[in-house]
Amino acid sequence: MILIVLLIAAAAVLIWERLMRRALAEAVEVTLDADASEINAGEELGFTETVVNRGAMPVPVMEIRFRIGKGLRFMNAENITESDYLYKRDVFSLLSHEQITREYRVLGEKRGFYQVSGADISMRAVPSFNEYVRALDADLSFYVYARRVPVRDILAAIETPLGQLAAANRLYEDPFSFAQIREYQQTDPMKTINWKASAKTGQLMVNTYTSVRSEQIAVYLDLEERRIVKTPDRTEECISVAASLMEILLTKNLESALVIGIRDSAHGDHPQPYVFGPGRGSTLLKELEQFLTGDFAEAETVPMDVMLSHFPPGGRVPVIITKNADSEMMRSIEAALPGGQSAIVVAVSGDGEMLPAAGGQIRLMRRKVTV
């Protein structure tokens, strides 16, 4: 009799665990979601875990586990461990036909591209507490762009040479930018006559065009590490200044380019930097923002003189962002500038650090970094 009872109990446990496995495989759904695909370092995004039990079987103990790159902070969240990744786990208990949603705020502490990986659901069946695991297809990723910093002083410094270039460009007209029709004057070339409008009005009429605005701003981001002791805080400041400046320039629809002192492997054995632009608008901005989320700690850099020779600043407003400002660099920059061309050098340095003398064609601006 006892044996029969034990056999019945064992069969009941097996049936129960089978039903639990089926619930895990078919009835339980888990969704991981974020309310933004891109933020700037120092900003937050919303992170949501949604668990739904669509079956009639309750789920006494269920655990969601996943990992994501370091550089994020889950605000007011528990069960997080950190090693090579951030590992997060959450425990749920669901009744039949129940949905549970947990929301977190995630702070982007460091720029980068973050993607959820290694996600799975585990469930323990009562009373044996055998663990059953199902991989979770969590297609969730987002960018944390470089931190935004004030660049109003740099924009003010750009205005003078930019204004001079714009004034010079107004001497010419763009044949592809139509403005209006007016009466013919003796100084107008015959090719500008609008014959259809002339026939309608009974007098010669000509097309006029807006002035060319081909002034460009070239931003040079120097990422070379010359010191024995690396200075990642200064590198981050350089990247933040470049990203903040390019965001404003491209948003204002000013034709701009970003030259990054990282070797572009597409050029083979020739050490050439990455160049974004010249261009305008949000498409170029997004492209360079995503590139700047990379880890450049071990990247092969391109010296400043190579950057300047590859993309000469003649006819542009060059803004050079560097943590390596010294007398030698000032001389190489001045040698690369054509007569009458000025340049702006943004020197990222520590408190009390001496900067080289600058004058003539170069305006030197300090950005202090305090560790």
Return mean pLDDT, the chain: 80
pLDDT, tens digit, for every residue of 202-228?
888 777 654 444 457 889 999 988 777
| Residue that is written with structure tokens 């009373």 in the block | 127
In words, the CATH class of domain 152-168+214-369 is alpha beta
Between CA 128 and CA 13 the distance in angstroms is 8
Between CA 126 and CA 182 the distance in angstroms is 88
Bridge partners for 319 per DSSP:
219, 344
Between CA 215 and CA 230 the distance in angstroms is 37
Question: Are the CB atoms for 51 and 165 separated by under 8 Å?
Answer: no
Question: Are the CB atoms for 146 and 295 separated by under 8 Å?
Answer: no
Please report, for residues 39, 170, 274, 279, the alpha-carbon distance to residue 214 in angstroms, rounded to integers and kept in the order given: 32, 10, 22, 11
Residue 120 token pair: 């799975």
**Domain residues of the chain, as ranges?**
28-145, 152-168+214-369, 178-210
Between CA 152 and CA 15 the distance in angstroms is 70
Counting Cβ atoms within 10 Å, is residue 69 exposed (0-12), middle (13-18) or buried (19+)? Answer: middle
Confidence of residue 350 (pLDDT cuts 50, 70, 90): confident
* Helices 232-251, 152-169: inter-axial angle, 10-degree rounding: 40
Architecture of domain 28-145: Sandwich (2.60)
Please report, for residues 176, 182, 191, the alpha-carbon distance to residue 198 in angstroms, rounded to integers and kept in the order given: 21, 10, 13
Bridge partners for 15 per DSSP:
none
| Residue that is written with structure tokens 């943590």 in the block | 323
Q: pTM to 2 decimals?
A: 0.78
Between CA 226 and CA 335 the distance in angstroms is 21
The per-residue pLDDT for 258 is 92
Between CA 11 and CA 5 the distance in angstroms is 10
Bridge partners for 104 per DSSP:
47
pLDDT, tens digit, for every residue of 6-30?
666 656 556 666 666 665 556 788 8
DSSP alpha helices (H): ranges in the chain?
2-22, 152-169, 195-201, 232-251, 281-291, 304-310, 327-336
Between CA 145 and CA 232 the distance in angstroms is 16
**pLDDT over 60 at 141, yes or no:** yes
pLDDT, tens digit, for every residue of 149-161?
999 999 888 876 6
Instruction: Tell me the mean pLDDT in the region 272-292.
Output: 90
The per-residue pLDDT for 162 is 60
Between CA 274 and CA 307 the distance in angstroms is 9
